[in-house]
Amino acid sequence: MYGTFWSLLPPIVAIVLALITKEVYSSLFIGIVVGGLLATSFHPVATLETIFNDGFFAALGDTWNIGIFMFLVILGIVVAIINKSGASNAYGEWAKKKIKTKRGALASTFVLSLLLGIDDYFHCLTVGSVMLPVNDSHNISRARFAYQIDATAAPLCMIFPISSWAAAVSGMVEGYNGIQLFVRAIPYNFYSLLTLLMIVYLIVTGLEYGPMKKHEDNALKGDLFTTPDRPFDNVEDENVVNERARLYDLVIPIAILFVCCVIGMIYTGGFFSGASFIDAFGGCDASYGLSLGSLISLILIVIYFMVRRVVSFKQAMECIPVGFKAMVPAILILTFALTLKNMTSALGSTEFVSTLVGNNIGTFGFLLPLILFGLAVLISFSTGTSWGTFGILIPIVVSLGTVLNDKMLIISISACLAGAVCGDHCSPISDTTIMASAGARCNHINHVSTQLPYALTVAAVSAVSYVIAGLTQSIISLFIAIALMFATLFIIGKIVKNKSNTTDVSAAGGPPAEA
């Protein structure tokens, strides 16, 4: 079964079960077991050994994963200390005075997201912790907040040249200037650009549809969750009131965290050894850089709060287990997802996809961008990793540089990147999706199910746009894509409005309610 379609069965099983049962831990574990059984030809003892040695132990022992886990824990501790200081309450009081409407809360969340596009993990958890009280105060459902975070995480990183994603992409391109190629691909990254455009449209018009509309309707009545599950209810009350705390006690720690993480990333890329800023970002180790930067920032933030006399040393130390506890759900899901990815890799999923694409890529003609976009969506959705997806497809596309003209090469690479982000958005086993759920403190399956119709809307418009791009091979395809996106959302809005009016009329004309 190695290197065949069967290699994609474990993640498919996990995803289907998660969507059916609404329970992610058991679904991921069953997918892992299926992968172990297939990898060992259903030998029970060998299956257990493979699951633990090649699965869990490999995931927990990988230095990259350890760095991400450390970053998550430190970020949780930083958030706990900020909450303990009363800075979150001070910001909430300020926001209540300045941000008067639901639209203002969503818009301010979007603006903060634009400022933190350096890394998706950093973005999801930081924006989540800072803007959660503001969104809650305006009765925005946790599912809607999670979508807002997730939809500005990977798409923003994918069009932001100074980001960990740009660094990853540039490192996978041989024979070309990686950063330059990344920048040239931005105008054709339809899914990322149209997703950001859709967020703005939703904020301005207030349009909601699909399962998200139910969550938003319930939020207006005071239920931010819709389902019985209340994630993170076991975390201590965060609304700490401290008369000494000020708004800048939130802004300064976040700024320290941001600056230290940037310095940590460029340090790992050799910036202080003579490399340029861009080259340092292109060659950085994001996992090590983020963990190193966040640790230094934690020390500086503790010192800052002690100098300000809003948090004592003892209180800061008490926040360590609180912050760790807050990140346990995200770490558990991420561990299971990484283990499942190891099982999929052990079955030769990379070889299967590489062979499938490599043998047929030259026969697609103007449909090549569409085919690559669809394949990237499928791979990313099944494996839960954007980076692994474009790590498979981009080298194959680049190897065709002698066959494809320059413009078609750029469009094809963009299609790979866009599809990777799209599949990542739709997949319940995606690490970024998991981080968005954690940042918004939202039930993970609620986030996935409500986000899916929105992601598929953008995916459909992007697919049509890649056909147009393949035909025109011109930047005009971007403007057509934007027009199609606006038209699609306008039509959806009309349908939702008509349906709502019909429902209201039916309700008004029905029999009177019994006492």
Q: How far is CA 177 from CA 39, 166, 182, 225, 274, in A?
A: 39, 12, 9, 46, 19
Q: How far is CA 502 from CA 88, 499, 507, in A?
A: 43, 5, 9
Work out the burial of residue 515: count CB atoms within 10 Å of its CB; fewer than 13 is exposed, 13-18 middle, 19 or more buried. exposed
Distance between CA 143 and CA 231 in Å, rounded? 12
Delimit the domains of the chain by residue range: 65-175+210-329
Of 190, 189, 169, the closest CA to residue 180 belongs to 169
Q: What is the pLDDT of residue 298?
A: 94
Residue-wise pLDDT for 217-268, tens only, equals: 999 998 999 888 776 655 544 457 778 888 888 889 888 988 998 898 889 8
Q: Note whether 425 and 455 are within 8 A (CB).
A: yes
Distance between CA 301 and CA 318 in Å, rounded? 15
Q: Note whether 445 and 23 are within 8 A (CB).
A: yes
pLDDT at 319 > cutoff 50? yes
For the ranges 21-35, 174-188, 328-342, 467-481, the one whose mean pLDDT is highest: 467-481
Residue-wise pLDDT for 128-168, tens only, equals: 877 888 898 899 999 999 999 999 988 988 888 666 576 56
Residue-wise pLDDT for 399-409, tens only, equals: 666 667 889 88
Q: Note whether 264 and 292 are within 8 A (CB).
A: yes
Residue-wise pLDDT for 436-451, tens only, equals: 998 898 999 999 999 9
Q: What is the pLDDT of residue 399?
A: 67
pLDDT at 513 > cutoff 50? no
Which of 12-21, 161-170, 191-200 has the lowest average pLDDT? 161-170
Distance between CA 326 and CA 225 in Å, rounded? 18
DSSP-assigned states of every residue in 36-62: HHHHTTT-HHHHHHIIIIIIIHHHHH-
Question: In the structure, what pLDDT confidence band is assigned to residue 206 with cuts at 50, 70 and 90?
Answer: very high
Question: In the structure, what pLDDT confidence band is assigned to residue 295 with cuts at 50, 70 and 90?
Answer: very high
Q: What is the pLDDT of residue 514?
A: 44
How does the average pLDDT of the chain come out, rounded? 84
